[in-house]
């Protein structure tokens, strides 16, 4: 029986993660599949698509799943569902990630190419750091946080659980981003962001919908 590894979610996020899984030496003998209840295809990019129920029923010596869903709250719910089914949460990392001194990253992280962590950093569970993101010294990042591509998170920044930081956002050193906050793409964050708030622009301000 083989080792079976599911990439949960065959959307844009997952399709950026599957190639990284394929390149990980420790997964070279594993069968890599998609887990996706919504996909109509039977195979995507050379990998079979299984429903979650079929994945759970499949025979394998060891099963794990990487939760490749960019939406933080959805990723948290699906992680719970997968854990409740007794399936291990799989971390996936690009080979070229730079990690300096004293960096602790919780289980199930998805770390894309060209991501840099400098030193003395703590990151919670199931972090998703997309392409070219930077996490600077002494950052404290909660659980299920998503960094879209090109986020620049400076030193001593604190980010609460399930926060979503949009593409190219820039966060000034020492600030706090609250739990469930959303930082829009391209935002330049110069002040603390309250929990649950959405901020956009330079300097970032609360989003006012027209």
Ligand X SMILES: CC(C)(COP(=O)(O)OP(=O)(O)OC[C@H]1O[C@@H](n2cnc3c(N)ncnc32)[C@H](O)[C@@H]1OP(=O)(O)O)[C@@H](O)C(=O)NCCC(=O)NCCS
Q: Which residues bind ligand X (CB under 6 A)?
A: 130, 148-149, 166-167, 182, 184-186, 198, 200-201, 207, 209-210
Nearest approach in angstroms of CB 132 to ligand X is 11
Long-range contacts from 172-175, C-beta under 8 angstroms, 24+ separation: 173/136
Comparison of 88 and 179: residue with beta carbon closer to ligand X: 179
Comparison of 27 and 111: residue with beta carbon closer to ligand X: 111
The H-or-E segment that residue 66 falls in is strand 62-67
Which residues, in sequence order, are CB contacts of 208 under 8 Å at separation 6+? none
Comparison of 50 and 94: residue with beta carbon closer to ligand X: 94
Assess whether 137 carries a catalytic annotation: yes
Comparison of 27 and 153: residue with beta carbon closer to ligand X: 153
Nearest approach in angstroms of CB 171 to ligand X is 14
Q: Which of 47, 62, 128, 137 is catalytic?
A: 137
Comparison of 91 and 165: residue with beta carbon closer to ligand X: 165
Check residue 90 and report its DSSP letter: P
Check residue 23 and report its DSSP letter: H
For residue 94, give both structure tokens.
Answer: 């690009």
Nearest approach in angstroms of CB 59 to ligand X is 35
- Which residues make beta-bridge pairs with 206? 199
Tokens 């600077």: give the residue.
136
Which residues, in sequence order, are CB contacts of 111 under 8 Å at separation 6+? 91, 92, 93, 94, 97, 105, 127, 129
For residue 165, give both structure tokens.
Answer: 């930081």
Interior angle at CA 130, CA 183 and CA 51, nearest 5 = 105
Nearest approach in angstroms of CB 115 to ligand X is 14
Nearest approach in angstroms of CB 167 to ligand X is 3
Q: Which residues are known to be catalytic?
A: 137
């Amino acid at each position: 029986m083989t080792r079976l590894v599911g990439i949960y979610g065959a959307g844009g996020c997952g399709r950026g993660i599957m190639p990284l899984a394929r390149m990980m030496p420790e997964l070279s003998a594993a069968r890599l599949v998609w887990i996706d209840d919504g996909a109509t295809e039977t195979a995507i990019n050379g990998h079979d698509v299984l429903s979650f129920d079929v994945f759970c029923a499949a025979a394998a010596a060891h099963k794990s799943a990487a939760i490749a869903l960019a939406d933080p709250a959805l990723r948290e719910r699906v992680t719970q569902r997968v854990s409740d089914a007794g399936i291990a949460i799989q971390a996936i990392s690009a080979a070229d990630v730079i990690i300096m001194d004293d960096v602790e990253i919780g289980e199930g992280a998805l770390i894309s190419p060209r991501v840099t962590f400098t030193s003395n950093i703590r990151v919670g569970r199931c972090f998703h750091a997309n392409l070219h993101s930077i996490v600077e010294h002494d950052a404290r990042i909660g659980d299920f946080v998503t960094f879209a591509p090109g986020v620049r998170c400076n030193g001593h920044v604190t980010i609460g659980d399930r926060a979503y930081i949009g593409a190219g956002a820039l966060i000034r050193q020492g600030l706090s981003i609250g739990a469930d906050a959303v930082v829009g793409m391209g935002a330049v964050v110069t002040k603390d962001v309250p929990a649950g708030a959405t901020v956009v622009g330079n300097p970032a301000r609360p989003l006012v919908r027209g």
